[in-house]
Structure 1
């Protein structure tokens, strides 16, 4: 109301001035001037009344609003200043307490450099300096352990072209003679959609090599690991109920491993079934468990665990470290996550991105406690000065504008 009435009032004052100059003109003009004067006086009264209401009611309301808005702002700002001093980060520690760089297990080889679970992929992982090779093992219908992650063959082979009617069949329900004929690399080399975000283009030689990849046997992976002296860890899929190896698949896989002549300490045994049998046949295998309790790990004589990083960091690390449990986490692909694992004294990680993570020689965001405190105190002071300067500038502009308005009002009433 104040904003609308002031311009109208000024305009009517101007009209009243003209009316006074013509006051003694004809009667119609006198009547118009009379009505104009009455209307002007009425609007001036309304302006004064609305100004009174504004000063006595609206200004206090704005003051309360400022308190309601400003107080939470100041409290939040204070919390932002104080919270970092009570925040724990594993990457804030003394330099001499930083653990060694975690080892790498190539997840299905090096799947950004070659088709997953193929000879090319595992050889690429070895070239990149992987500490170990991770894979997935299934058993064919004629009891040949082979490498395949998916329960069917559609994603990573050309079975839709070769035998489309059987493409939905579980991978274990095929004979090895058929599985060995499938192409396991064209999906990777020729796909217009990259299997991984940020994956670099393949060279023409690697692309051609990828196009010719086949499904490998477990024995072929073991041969690569034996020659390169790399550790091997794998998920062993339980065959379906009607599969001929349903009750003997553990013994079958142990037999294949022993026949490969690989050093037993290079095998990290993950399957939880028949551990006593495995220990009796291959006492050199290193047994690894899931995120079990310390009591269960101790009872089963397991000193290593293989866990999803999300579950591990959620449940905590202290009790496992205190029990001297060796920890491998999966799936770690991002440099910042690898840095967090490094700062947390994780022993090894399973990754798709070995070619990038191997180049990290120091964890990201690592800092000593003294530098951390200095950084936050400096930033707190800097931000406080910046905020005070902004508020001071706003207040000065506001006070200046109010003084100008008051001066204009006084000047107006002086003229009137």
Structure 2
């Protein structure tokens, strides 16, 4: 039976079904290369999963370049997961070879795949660093959420691999080097919780952040449509987040994409107005915009892989959505007492306040009769002009220094722009902090523990059901878990060291007496 197992391991790893002890030095080099690529592949997969919170940014950017919707990010994730799984399994087989004292003769095909894997991961990391460098801050933030669990995983891995280390120690001439290296790594793993600083390790959990619907509820309905805002309202959002542009006839309408081809991604402009799909926002009247279908694209592309969760009635409703005006959304917000925050597109193209998006938007808001305190005014351009016309608007800032200079108390920033400590300090100064765009549970939990006032999200239907963060521990409880895990790991490793020492001593006695060693 043991012989069959050895043959299977040998065949999978090297395709040499008979024992072959040649080229061991080169084989060990390839095993070291396999270990490096496996660590790199697992690290890259971790980065991809963490950055998934912002995956729509990648897909939307790709659409602008290619004018074709493809879920590129999901393709990258699948390739990364397959590569990491392949390398990890191959590494496990390599360790098993080492354990049963089989030669580490990696097959040439595995070598080719490993080199391709190294190139793929290197290109991915280089592209990530060049085109999406700000996302590294998200990766850094993730360690505040995952570090305690990574520490426990590292303890388990260290404990499991220690028997191989001790086995090498008792049979190697480099005993001092092996043991010193292992002790340094073990000490780092045992003591790494001293460097872990997570806001979720606290005795005082802040209140749950309020929810702001990003373009409505784009996972449940086409973005920036009345159906989408209604769906977000059902999630209990305190505010709608949207994007306002001005039509040819100077009427504010809701659309995120701007500039040339701004209607291409989310409407059927090619079908309704052939040859005008390259036009700017100023080339369409509101009546013409109302003729466009703003929902069919959502059912066709399924950008969040959520269409299957909709009923047939909801799918029909989504398919009949049009481009809404700002007035329509103000009526809904006023009726249901929901606030409104928005970006103004193409504002830099205006030639003065009375010709600006700010002016027409402010005029439309005042005419709607909505309570001024329900408007969270975010745009920086013409802020003081707007304040003179409607002093009741809540002024929202995206720069801390600008807010302080203006005497404000409301920040709206990207979630990675502020450290968790900064968020806590601002809340301590009674500053409201809204963070965008938060879509993953781990990130929402982290910002909850940090004290964020509210978050802008695509996933309001997920967060509304969360009654507590995904994990939250009091410092004393976490310290107890940390110390207990370290002690258990240390005892197990000490036991394995003694067992390997005794086993090696027995083997030497048998060798001295002339008994054959069957396991060698």
TM-score range, shorter chain: 0.7 to 0.9
Ranges in structure 2 where 5+ consecutive residues have no aligned partner: 1-20, 23-167
Shift of 1:117: 0.2
Shift of 1:327: 0.3
What's 1:176 paired with?
A: 286
What's 1:54 paired with?
A: none
Say if 2:213 is the partner of 1:106. yes
What's 1:80 paired with?
A: 189
What's 2:92 paired with?
A: none
Any runs of at least 4 consecutive aligned residues in structure 1 with deviations exceeding 4 A, and if so which? Answer: 59-64, 197-200, 242-246
Say if 2:446 is the partner of 1:340. yes
CA contact (8 A) 1:139 1:245 kept: no
What's 2:488 paired with?
A: 382
The structure carrying a bigger helix percent of its residues is: 2
SS at match of 1:227: helix
Say if 2:195 is the partner of 1:89. no
SS at match of 2:407: coil
Q: Deviations over 1:281-315 (max 9, x none)?
A: 1111001010332xx31222321111111111288
Relative to structure 1, is the Cα distance of residues 381 and 300 closer, same or farther in structure 2, using a 3 angstrom cutoff? Answer: same
What's 1:217 paired with?
A: 325
SS at match of 2:413: strand
Q: Aligned residue pairs: how many?
A: 348
Relative to structure 1, is the Cα distance of residues 73 and 199 closer, same or farther in structure 2, using a 3 angstrom cutoff? Answer: farther
TM-score, reference length from structure 1: 0.78
Ranges in structure 1 where 5+ consecutive residues have no aligned partner: 5-58, 411-416
TM-score, reference length from structure 2: 0.63
Say if 2:501 is the partner of 1:395. yes
Of 230, 240, 245, 1:123 maps to: 230
Could you tell which deviates more after superposition, 85-94 or 345-354? Answer: 85-94
Say if 2:484 is the partner of 1:404. no
Shift of 1:173: 3.0
Q: Distance in 2 between matches of 1:82 and 1:276?
A: 53
Q: Distance in 2 between matches of 1:60 and 1:362?
A: 47
Q: RMSD between aligned alpha carbons?
A: 2.6
SS at match of 2:217: coil
Relative to structure 1, is the Cα distance of residues 333 and 60 closer, same or farther in structure 2, using a 3 angstrom cutoff? Answer: closer
Of 315, 336, 342, 1:207 maps to: 315
Say if 2:461 is the partner of 1:328. no
What's 1:297 paired with?
A: 403
Shift of 1:318: 5.0
Say if 2:174 is the partner of 1:65. yes
SS at match of 2:500: helix
Q: Distance in 1 between matches of 2:451 and 2:277?
A: 44
Q: Distance in 2 between matches of 1:68 and 1:173?
A: 74
What's 1:228 paired with?
A: 336
Select the structure of larger CA radius of gyration: 1
SS at match of 2:191: helix
Q: Deviations over 1:196-249 (max 9, x none)?
A: 156652110100000000000001111111000001000011257489998332
Say if 2:465 is the partner of 1:359. yes
CA contact (8 A) 2:169 2:179 kept: no
Say if 2:351 is the partner of 1:266. no
Shift of 1:146: 0.3
CA contact (8 A) 2:350 2:356 kept: no
Q: Distance in 1 between matches of 2:493 and 2:350?
A: 72
